[in-house]
Structures are given as C-alpha cells and as structure tokens.
C-alpha cells in the first residue's frame, strides 16, 4: 500500500493547480477564438515581463520559432503548427532576420491588440480575485518555491 508522503502531496497539488489554471485559461481564450498555447505565444511576442522564459532570456530582437518552442517546452513541429494558425488569423507575421535571411523573426500584427489585451484584462481580474487571500510575501514565497523546484529539476 502507498503511504502518505508530503513530497508526493506537494507534487500532486502542484499538478492539480496547473491543470486547473490551464483549464480556466482554455475557457477564457476560447471566447477570443484562440487556444491557451496560442495566447501564450502572443504574450511572449508582446514581451510580457511576467513570463519566466523572458526573464531568463531577455530579448533585444523579435523571437524566432525555436525560442518559442523552448519557452513553451514543445517540439519545433508543434510550434510550427501553432504559428501557422496565428499567421492565418493575421495575429503574427514572419520577417527575415537582418543578419541571416534563413531565420524568421516573429512579430505581432496590429490586429492582435484585441486578442492579447482583452483576455489579459479579464485574466488580471480573475487572478486578483483568486490570489486576494494571499499577501505579497506569500506570493513571493510561492515564486521562490516554484523557481527553486525548476532549478532542482534541471540538475
């Protein structure tokens, strides 16, 4: 029989929290005709300062598909499919890199404003409500905990 274990409980609670947040994100983004992954790409291209990948990899140029795949932890093929949909919806464009024309840099189009900012406003309100019981120190402690776990998993 499996015994109760605090470490396993922490992991399962974290997984459940992540899955629930993703499910809520799916409900939100569906209203705007995109998926949570597509929205995350738009937020990356909008240079959202809250995204861990951008904190760890500051950008001076628009991102490329490989960088987006790394940020989302998905395959290059998966990111290509996601990007093709966003290009078809006229939310992003590809431009040649100034140094290496084989590289394609990705930029947001003007149409993206509504698709990025409207869900963002709703997300901020919902997150503020969900996290209202926690102090700033609680939230900073949680970020420290998550960052430390991520660092340990890299090793």
> Class of the 6-154 domain?
mainly alpha
Q: Of 142, 115, 113, 145, nearest to 127 (Cα)? A: 142
Q: Of 39, 1, 34, 17, nearest to 127 (Cα)? A: 17
Residue 51 has pLDDT above 80, yes or no: yes
Across the chain, mean pLDDT equals 91
CA 133 to chain centre: 24
Query: How many angstroms separate the CA atoms of 51 and 153, rounded?
Result: 19
Residue 155 has pLDDT above 90, yes or no: no
Q: Is residue 83 exposed (0-12), middle (13-18) or buried (19+ Cβ within 10 Å)?
A: buried
Residue 146 has pLDDT above 80, yes or no: yes
User: For the residues 30-46, what does the mean pLDDT come to?
Assistant: 92
Under the banding of pLDDT at 50, 70 and 90, the label for residue 112 is confident
Q: How high is the pLDDT of residue 137? A: 98
Q: How high is the pLDDT of residue 69? A: 95
User: For the residues 121-128, what does the mean pLDDT come to?
Assistant: 90
Under the banding of pLDDT at 50, 70 and 90, the label for residue 44 is very high
Query: How many angstroms separate the CA atoms of 43 and 50, rounded?
Result: 10
pTM greater than 0.85: yes
């Amino acid at each position: 029989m499996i015994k109760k274990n605090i470490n396993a409980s922490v992991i399962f609670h974290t997984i459940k929290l992540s899955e629930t947040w993703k499910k809520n994100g799916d409900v939100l983004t569906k209203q705007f005709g995109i998926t949570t992954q597509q929205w995350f790409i738009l937020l990356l291209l909008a240079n959202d300062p809250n995204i861990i990948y951008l904190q760890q990899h500051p950008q001076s140029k628009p991102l490329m598909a490989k960088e987006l795949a790394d940020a989302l932890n998905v395959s290059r093929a998966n990111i290509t499919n996601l990007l093709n949909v966003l290009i078809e919806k006229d939310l992003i464009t590809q431009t040649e890199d100034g140094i290496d024309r084989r590289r394609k840099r990705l930029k947001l189009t003007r149409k993206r404003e509504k698709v990025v900012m409207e869900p963002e406003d709703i997300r901020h309100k919902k997150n503020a409500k969900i996290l209202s019981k926690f102090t700033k120190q609680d939230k900073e402690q949680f970020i420290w905990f998550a960052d430390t776990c991520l660092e340990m998993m890299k090793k």
